[in-house]
Amino acid sequence: MALALAAPPTFAAAGQAWDPPQKPAATPLPRSARFGAAVDRTAKSPAGEATPAGYETVLGVNEVLSGKHKEGAARLAAVAGRAGALADVAAYYLGLGRFLSGDAPGAAAALAGLAEAPQASFLGRDAQYLALEAASRAGDNTRALALAEAWLTEADPTLAPEAWLRAAVAANALGQRRKAADFLRHLSLAWPDAQAAQAGNALARAMCGEMGRGMGREMGQGEASGGQEGRGPSRTSPTGGGEACYDPDTPANVLLRAEAMVEKGAPEAALKLLEGKWPFDAGQAARAEYVRGKALYRLRRFKAGAEAFARAAGADPAAPLAGWARYHEARCLWRSFEAADLDRMEALLRQVLAAPGRDDPLREVAARHLALLLVERGRFPEALAAAGQLKGLAVSPDLAAQGATLTALLRFVTGDLAGAVADLAAFPERFPEDDWADGARYWRGKALAAQGKPEEAARAYLDVLSRRPNSYYGGRAQAALAAMGRSVGPGVVASPVREGPRCPGRGEPASAPAAAALAKARLLADSGLPALAEMQLDFAARAMPDRADLAMAHIEAAEAMGRRGAVLRTAWRTFGGCLARGTAGDLQPLRQALYPRAHAGLVTAALAGSGIDPDIVSSLIRQESFFDPDVVSGAGAVGLMQLMPDTARAMGAKLGLKVDRQALFDPAVNIRLGVAFFRERVASAGSLSAALAGYNAGQNRAAVWTRGFGGLGEELFTELIPYTETRDYVRRIDANAMMYARLYGR
């Protein structure tokens, strides 16, 4: 007899789990609803004169944000229609105040205009979401469903689970069961560990239970299709109505939910889910071990993960799942430093590649990892042969590009320069949008130089330099040309690039919409609402990405708010070409926002006598924390240089300092200890690239790479780092150090 399903989770007795929270303030809300109260100031119009309605609007917004919801809503209702440029702000916070004070119908009415035309205001999308919540709370399911479907076209991922839940509840209430089931299935698998997904699963169980009872009435008590153990992923009513349900507790759906939890960053939840006594058949039990292995890998429990994958493969060695389980077992073993584990990894990958049948994606990843393992062990000809097994496989462009990159580099390493030149020349033609296209151009120059063809090599380097001089490969190409005695000045423009890049500070035509957006942002900032000013500028800069004035205004506002991610997004969207090709003069207006040099004196003092370029450490800090002294990583690393407390204490003992975790938030302490640690890594690793790799991946792993291919030189060491994250990390720090040198001078 099949095992009984695990009991579904229980929820609070007060109302159904999928009802809106009893207190409106407990509802997930957008960022604009969670600002603290602003400073009271007299609002000013774009022309500069004080306006009573504007002043009242700002006071009302402050009252709503400070918790005086009814008072703020009343004040804003009194100025409705007279707020001028702040009309959308007044309407939104009137709606928010009413919503939070429990007046859902009043909130819906206040928000209706903004919700119907969300593209017209920087608060439009938030108003649409809040109107959805108000409609749900008011029981207007038709309106709630329409608003949810409209908002979900460009959903904010932090609020999307709640909106999917509200959409499902509304569809179910309207009798649209199949649509509701589709919403619940998406919610359960896209956000499997979210609180909204748990509530959605409870609703799904209730819907399936209702359908089961309906089927029982149709078929006679005791004759429902299959009972508890027979539940499938969906069920259709025998009456022909087309109603279906999503059952999160079928074995198949449990496995899908667990795998989604792993992929969405909740491996602990996946393991907990798999602990239930689910009635898996033999194939599903093997799949459960496979998913368990993936969860353990994410938790860095590599030995236990390898054992789980081995069990999955052993359940049916000829099944397609077994090949993938062997591949993932090999990945777990790669994290070991034991020679026997690495030997088994190699054997597993060769077993996958030798298996009959053709699973191109599996064979591609197995061949690539085998090549990387052989590179790590310094067996370059064998690595090239393994990389050659990628040819002819129907793989994705991204994976094919990775294979082509590795093959070309290994031809260079093994002395097949003609083959390397041919492969490297073909790469940009085959993968013109790949990030490594300039890398292929640069290494083609290196291969031509090694063949004794300096003129052709120089042309290849110049091609790279003229395309993106401010990139990693642009900097390498400039250094290579300088070593050949061919100095190239700033401002090189590529022959394929017919127009100069858009840079800040250059003249642009007047624009009435841009001027209005800037004026409104100034009004909000002058009114003591800087967070709303930043939102307005972000909205305008997205709508008009070719306007340098809007982009710079938003970058300045976002920097002041500490929103580094927003700074970078706007800078790259509007000034991406300038960041890649602009001169130091072009980039000066962006220097402080994108390449700050905070605490430069502390860095220089800590590096005294080391010979290490301070720009490398500034770039490292930029990469680790973007100069935020209060940042803490998910792994527990602290502060500017992201030091683990144990590492900091060990370094402190060497320097005669007693250090606790709290001290690591002090920039002076963090930089002193972090630089001391980095200096040790450089001294022991033997090269800057290896030291940076160790800072990211761990010094023991970097030592393995140094033994395997460190003798090829720093450039090839960087290119052959097997971990994509670490390889990109080293390149990025090198490129950013070059930018620091250009923008600030040596």
Beta bridge partners, 44, equal 50
The C-alpha atoms of residue 511 and residue 48 are separated, in whole angstroms, by: 20
Rounded to 5 degrees, φ, ψ at 50 are: -70, 145
Quickly state the pLDDT bin for 710 (edges 50, 70, 90). Answer: very high
Which tops the pLDDT comparison, 110 or 8? 110
CA distances to 410, 422, 589, 709 from 418, rounded to whole Å, are: 12, 6, 45, 22
Quickly state the pLDDT bin for 6 (edges 50, 70, 90). Answer: very low
Residue 160 has pLDDT above 50, yes or no: yes
CB 405 within 8 A of CB 427: yes
CB 56 within 8 A of CB 75: yes
Beta bridge partners, 638, equal 632, 643
Beta bridge partners, 566, equal none
254-299, pLDDT tens digit by residue? Answer: 999 999 999 999 999 999 999 999 999 999 999 999 999 999 999 9
Q: What is the pTM of this model?
A: 0.88
The pLDDT of 8-30, averaged and rounded, is 74
Residue 490 has pLDDT above 70, yes or no: no
Catalytic residues: 624
The pLDDT of 179-204, averaged and rounded, is 96
679-701, pLDDT tens digit by residue? Answer: 999 999 989 999 999 999 999 99
219-266, pLDDT tens digit by residue? Answer: 444 333 333 333 333 443 332 334 579 999 999 999 999 999 999 999
522-575, pLDDT tens digit by residue? Answer: 999 998 899 999 999 999 999 999 999 999 999 999 999 999 999 999 999 999
DSSP structure string for 142-195: HHHHHHHHHHGGG--TTTHHHHHHHHHHHHHHTT-HHHHHHHHHHHHHHSTTSH
Beta bridge partners, 50, equal 44
Q: Tell me which amino acid residue 689 is.
A: S
DSSP structure string for 7-32: PPPP--SSS-TTSPPSSGGGS---GG
Q: Which of 120, 95, 119 is nearest to 108 (CA)?
A: 95
Neighbours of 492 (CB within 10 A): 16
pLDDT at 51: 67
CB 524 within 8 A of CB 533: yes
Phi-psi region of 15 (alpha: psi -120 to 50; beta: other; left: phi over 0): left
Counting beta carbons within 10 angstroms of the beta carbon of residue 261, is it exposed (0 to 12), middle (13 to 18) or buried (19 or more)?
buried
pLDDT at 224: 32
Measured on CA atoms in the order 589, 593, 598, 600, is the torsion positive or negative? negative
CB 57 within 8 A of CB 84: no
57-85, pLDDT tens digit by residue? Answer: 999 999 999 999 999 999 999 998 899 99
User: The tokens of 593 are what?
Assistant: 């926002």
User: Considering the chain, what is the average pLDDT of its residues?
Assistant: 90
pLDDT at 157: 93
CA distances to 103, 141, 244 from 23, rounded to whole Å, are: 12, 19, 32
Question: How many CA atoms lie within 13 Å of 198's alpha carbon, on the beta-carbon side?
Answer: 11
The C-alpha atoms of residue 361 and residue 75 are separated, in whole angstroms, by: 62
- Looking at the chain, the whole-number percentage of residues with pLDDT higher than 70 is 90
Quickly state the pLDDT bin for 506 (edges 50, 70, 90). Answer: confident
CB 532 within 8 A of CB 524: yes
pLDDT at 15: 60
Which domains are delineated in the chain?
A: 24-215 (1.25.40.10), 284-453 (1.25.40.10), 512-581 (1.25.40), 600-744 (1.10.530.10)
Residue 125 has pLDDT above 90, yes or no: yes
User: Which region among 208-222, 413-427, 591-605, 727-741 has the lowest average model confidence (pLDDT)?
Assistant: 208-222
User: The tokens of 735 are what?
Assistant: 């490129």
Q: Which of 111, 116, 109 is nearest to 151 (CA)?
A: 116
408-432, pLDDT tens digit by residue? Answer: 999 999 999 999 999 999 999 999 9
Residue 218 has pLDDT above 80, yes or no: no
Quickly state the pLDDT bin for 494 (edges 50, 70, 90). Answer: very low
Q: Tell me which amino acid residue 360 is.
A: D
| DSSP character at residue 48 | S
Residue 47 has pLDDT above 70, yes or no: no
- Looking at the chain, the whole-number percentage of residues with pLDDT higher than 90 is 82
pLDDT at 328: 98
User: The tokens of 295 are what?
Assistant: 């969860």
pLDDT at 53: 77
Quickly state the pLDDT bin for 735 (edges 50, 70, 90). Answer: very high
